[in-house]
Amino acid sequence: MSAFTSFNPRTGEPGAATFEDASGEQVEAAVAAAERAFTRSRHFEPADMAIVLRAVAEELDALGDRVIETADRETGLGRPRLAGELGRTTGQFRAFAEVCDEGSFVEAVIDHARADVQLARPDLRRMLFPLGPVAVFGASNFPMAFSVPGGDTASALAARCPVVVKAHPSHPETSQLCGDAILRALERTDAPEGMFSLVHGRSKEVGETLVTAPAIRAVGFTGSLRGGRALYDLAARRPDPIPVYAEMGSVNPFFVTERALDARLDSIAEGFVGSMTQGIGQFCTKPGLAFIPEGEHGRRWTELVASKVEQMESACLLNAQIRDALADQVERTRRFPGVELLAGGASASGPGFAYPATLLAVEASAFLAAPELAEEHFGPFGVIVRCESAGQMLEVGRRLRGNLTATVHAEASEAQNVRPLVEELREKVGRLIWNGYPTGVAVTHAMMHGGPYPASTVALHTSVGTAAIKRWLRPVAYQSYPAELLPPALRDGNPLRIMRLVDGEWTRDPTR
């Protein structure tokens, strides 16, 4: 087994705690325990899991400053940001507990038998059931909210699926603290042993063993396009292919009209720079491409953005690999014809994994000729694309690949003018933002955090918000079954008092 430690991004110094890659036998044991746990958890009522989820939130809250300090040392993201992330993380568990208490996420549908129609039908009842054990890969950029206790883990547990998490090697101490907290919560609520397991590892063999384990029924991943696609292909080559819900690269295009610049030039510039560099540009929703009309307003906006970026001090990225990859990618991108360096672009000197915020500019014609300019640059980096006309801006939108978000800044008076652009962008993204900024993803019922490939491998689902639970569920229909063999959600009388679709009408009525 290979030993490793985390590194402090601010100093480049290794941490004190040493971890080892999990062996194949250890991964297989964790999966086997999850498989045994599922024989119990699949029979749980959702309200049973609500108790477990709230206990997890309480244990995570109890970590308090200890986990914030550890995460700050391993990521350099800062205590204020990480304190907020801890609150978001525990809030996710409580949100899914409410979903479980309410119960309608099982989508119970009942069509009673009828003989008085042209095509007679039997009694049919359908609902969603848990898939089984799930593998989750922690992300580097959110050591809690998208990592060991992140949304994938919370939503899978809410679906009553046991979870085996592979911790991200950039923050193993934080991962272990959170994993131990989850285990304490499961123990005190008498959840099945094996309902949650944590494995460590830097080698790809750990992840490969996990994804190919026969008992694993689905995978959750947040990270790079390369990593997510590798897991997707691996899962597809299994004798029994399984879904991989991978949230990957995104440049989150940002479009601004002439009228918007005339009305709000300064505020849009400030908001764009803040969003582009938030979290040192390591948010998957960072706006990495800004499409601006040519002309006086566009020139002034570009100069203002460049000035703000140039004044920013270099900040530390999460690890040396991210820093080096960004520096190499920026150097390649600068070589494309027509690319102009406006700010940054040189590797920073000094301790730690620092890199300066960097801004490039290019004409739309040159951008369209070089698809590589539309690839994600993970870090504090952006490209301003100058468009000659609204028609060229529409053409750019048409040529983009899948993204998590797209933002349009325009005035209310030109809503009809930008409709063609918005409708084109709708085909490319999972979330459309009007006069706002894409960073900051609310954990709500309506949130969509996903998009067409390469933003994610499955555009049908979200990885943030309560709808994320649907990734870990599958439908089963019962035809003409006796009442005593039906699950409570499908029985006459609606014993769970949940919302159901009965003979084509949504109702909680117990007489239906």
Contact (Cβ atoms closer than 8 angstroms) between residue 406 and residue 424:
no
**Given the residues 247, 363, 376, 424, the one annotated as active site:** 247
Considering just the CA atoms, what is the radius of gyration of the chain in Å? Answer: 25
| 204 φ/ψ sector (left φ>0, alpha ψ -120 to 50, else beta) | alpha
Cα(301)–Cα(256) distance, integer angstroms: 10
- The catalytically annotated residue of 100, 284, 316, 387 is 284
Residues 6 or more apart in contact with residue 31 via CB below 8 angstroms: 133, 164, 210, 213, 215, 216
User: Cα–Cα distance between 161 and 129 in angstroms, integer?
Assistant: 10
Distance (Å, rounded) from C-alpha 469 to C-alpha 109? 18
With residue 341 as reference, give the H or E element that holds it: strand 340-343
Q: How far apart are the first and last CA of the chain?
A: 59
Dist. CA 409–CA 418, nearest whole Å: 10
Q: What DSSP character marks residue 223?
A: S
Judging by DSSP bridges, how do beta strands 109-111 and 500-502 pair with one another? parallel
Task: Find how far residue 271's CA is from the centre of its chain.
Answer: 22
Torsion of CA 158, 161, 162, 167, to 10 degrees: -70
User: What is the CA 10 to chain-centroid distance, rounded?
Assistant: 26
* Residue 220 near residue 245, CB atoms below 8 Å: yes
Could you confirm whether 284 is annotated as catalytic? yes
Which token pair is 266?
Answer: 């300064």
Q: How far apart are CA 46 and CA 506, in angstroms?
A: 20
CA torsion sign for 285, 286, 289, 291 is positive
Q: Which token pair is 27?
A: 């991964």
How far is the C-alpha of 9 from the C-alpha of 23, rounded, in Å? 28
| Angstrom distance (rounded) from CA 268 to CA 287 | 12
d(CA 426, CA 402): 10
What is the strand order of the sheet 109-111 is part of? 473-479, 124-130, 109-111, 500-502, 505-507
193 is catalytic: no
CB 289 within 8 A of CB 326: no
CB 438 within 8 A of CB 405: yes
Positions marked active-site: 247, 284
